[in-house]
Chains A and B, each alone.
Chain A
Amino acid sequence: MRREDVVDISISPVIKTTPKFYVAFIILLILVVLGFLAYITQFIYGHGVTGLNSNVIWGSYIAVFIFFIAISMSGTLVSALLRITRAKWGTTIARLAEMITASAFIIAVLQILIDIGRPDRILHAIIWGRLQSPITWDIFVIMTYAVASYIYLYITMIPDLALIWREGRVKGLIAQLYQILSINWIGTKEQVTRLNKAIKILAVMLIPTAVAFHSIVSWILAMLNRPGWHTTVMGPDFVTAAIYSAMAILIVIIWIFTKTVDGASKLIKEIHFRYLGYLLFVSCLALIYMKICHILTEYYGGEEMHVKVLNSLLFGDWAPVFWGFMILSLIGPAVILPVILFREKLSVNGLFVMSVLIIVGLYLDRLYLVASPLSITYLPYPYVSYTPTLVEISLLIASFSGFALIYLVLIKVFPSVCIWETTSEGEGGINLIEVRREELFSNPLPRLILILSIICYVILMYIIVRFFIIPIYVPEGYVALSETFKLAAVPVAIVVSIAWISIMYSAYQLVKISEVGE
């Protein structure tokens, strides 16, 4: 495919604004505003407006949080994994996948703010954070993973931004934005090597971080001594479900992309859907395996509380949610996906519908995973279940709309297909542009990124080291025991520090790239 065509497709949403865009934008904006009003209600009247109660104290918000954290896997998986394995088909959809990660993170972090009872005190979790708490691990690892993902999205975009700006394809504010963001990229050999170095180290580092990240999110539940949560399979289950939902949402996104952007179907062909469909099917089977591991071992073991939780899941109050998930996300796809995938002519629309259903099912999965173990109590309290109220449902809808809205804005502002990788076919031969040395200017952006990342790293390390050294309220005689729980944070600390080193390394490469003309 010619470079000009790829550029056309890549920036067509940026330069052309269709009525469809306005309609979508306004509808999504209205839904987000409605969700915001629902949140205002909750802020004024307290958490009483939700369906939560003393037993089931976590509900839809945490489920949505975990769901969007899971979706953020798509950028890493498709982009980083396919880049490392040099799977060429992945290059065209890599950018679209990374943008999913970028949008999902914002929504996931917002869910925490919506969920906690005192959002005005959120900084207390950093000022007085305790290393023993799974929530503190989460804060560290979410920060790290988010920064790494955003830098990764940005670095892979630099040559495209430079190309589009220098060819004069965009005008006005966007052109200025591209100029600043393209940090003097002219495609010299040194720049290409440095860019590839930065991308490679980030891609290699992102994959273990992602696995650690999803496991650590699962530990918020799995570390507590609750039947239904307290299982070792929780971490692998979360990682698998993350891959599964990431594949499903990516299929949905690229289907919409091919339908709405002119000429995109020339770039994203049946083969992309087919390969993603294979991955979807494999992760579906993996998730079935996880669920069987969980349910069968606990049932056979026959521990009273575990069986109670499973009974409420399989036959009790939670049966509609559980079986809804089973049919939509596991049994249905396991039966229908092979029929779709192993035919000569792939039904792309069928795959799209399946993906949407899988996403709905996976939300139900997260919901029962969070709420159902809480409705079973050790002591004989009156049984209460959990039904989301209007406020929670409108915030759920608003979260999905907000995700789509952020995605829409990203597509509208940045090139949506990775031009330099799609055209050069991965040989590093990135478009050289004739440019006079005088046009280059000193750009403070890369240095800013480097300094900020160093500051973040120092603060993070300071917090970790300080917490390890200073005990907080440990009564005499219980020092050893209470301090031991801090050791649980060691794997987290190791992952976070290694990831930050590679982030700083990439930021350093950016500085070197921008200095080429000086």
Chain B
Amino acid sequence: MVRWGMIIDLDKCTGCQACSLACASENNLPTSRPEEVRRRREVEWNEILTISFGEVKIPLPRLCMHCDIAACVKVCPTGSRFYYDEGRIVLQSYDRCIGCRLCMCACPYNANYFIWSHPEEEYSFKLNSDMVVIEGLGRVGPNLYVSGTPQKCIFCFHRLVRLKIDLENKRAGVLSSVITGEASWEAVGKAIDILMRYLIDPDNSEITGITHEIRYLPACVATCPSRARIFGDLDDENSLVAKMAKSPRAFKLLEELGTEPKVIYLAPKGGGVET
């Protein structure tokens, strides 16, 4: 059983917004006009907030926390917001949602974004067609401009599914030769961990020649120039992400609300005070 999680090292994050941009182009997010941004109508699955940490203000990337006890899943009247069994990612079916927006009210992180109007034709050229469809639930993959429904970060679920399919068909390049045996979700977790270690420190990596396979990582993780983000299987004790989650610097956003988020932040060293 895998349990996808992400570490964001606030010490490394420079607030460059590259993750937001990568997310927007990967997930077909609509561009917004200035007046829409002023009215908070923009769609930004990965948003950079500014928080005070000690005496300094630091950037804080906020994506969907993929909570283990998600408030949005609890209140959804149709089950269109659900946990994906393998990996406990919180996903949303675009085809089932009735647009009641109770999930947006329930989420303490305000991680949901409503699609306010119908798709504009000018965006259609850049649609990512790597759509995930779950039987009985409909489309859950990258943003679809389904107007009148809220949507949010999916941990680039379509990329993980793509990796699994490629492992099954032995098409994942070097990864296919490294990961042997059945292409289970655990195997996907191991593959992701190999990619992650390679991304963080390519010089000391045991396995090389997987630069092209970085595309299987979530867009924001693959993009981050300062390597502040680490993605992986929290249940696998040997994975990078599980090790870093045990760091004394680790904290979760609004932990006291009991939502058990799977996005874990590493506080800046020295409590944020510049040394």
Contacts and interface: CB of A to CB of B under 8 A. Distances in A.
Contacts of B254: 378-379
B99 interface: yes
A225 interface: yes
B98 A125 contact: yes
Given A47-B116, A47-B148, A55-B40, A381 B49 contact: yes
A122 B98 contact: yes
A444 interface: no
Contacts of B41: 48, 53-54
A20 B100 CA distance: 40
Contacts of B104: 54, 57
A12 interface: no
B129 interface: no
B180 interface: no
A169 interface: no
B51 A478 contact: no
B55 interface: no
Place the interface of chain B in its size category: 35 or more
B251 interface: no
A363 interface: no
Interface string A475-504: 111100110010000000000000000000
Secondary structure dominating the interface of A: loop
Contacts of A366: none
A129 interface: yes
Interface in B10-38: none
A118 B73 CA distance: 19
A379 B117 contact: no
B273 interface: no
Interface footprint category on A: 35 or more
A45 B147 CA distance: 9
B108 A135 contact: no
A472 B93 CA distance: 14
A133 B81 CA distance: 11
A14 B20 CA distance: 65
Interface in A44-63: 45-48, 52-55, 57-58
Contacts of B115: 46, 117
Contacts of A382: 40
Interface string B46-83: 00011100000000001000001101011111111011
Contact of A133 (B102, B110, B112): B102
B83 A117 contact: no
B139 interface: no
Interface of B: 1, 39-42, 49-51, 62, 68-69, 71, 73-80, 82-83, 85, 88, 96-102, 104-106, 108-110, 112-118, 147-150, 253-254, 257
Given A54-B42, A128-B80, A475-B83, 6 more contacts: A46-B118, A124-B98, A128-B96, A135-B77, A379-B110, A481-B69
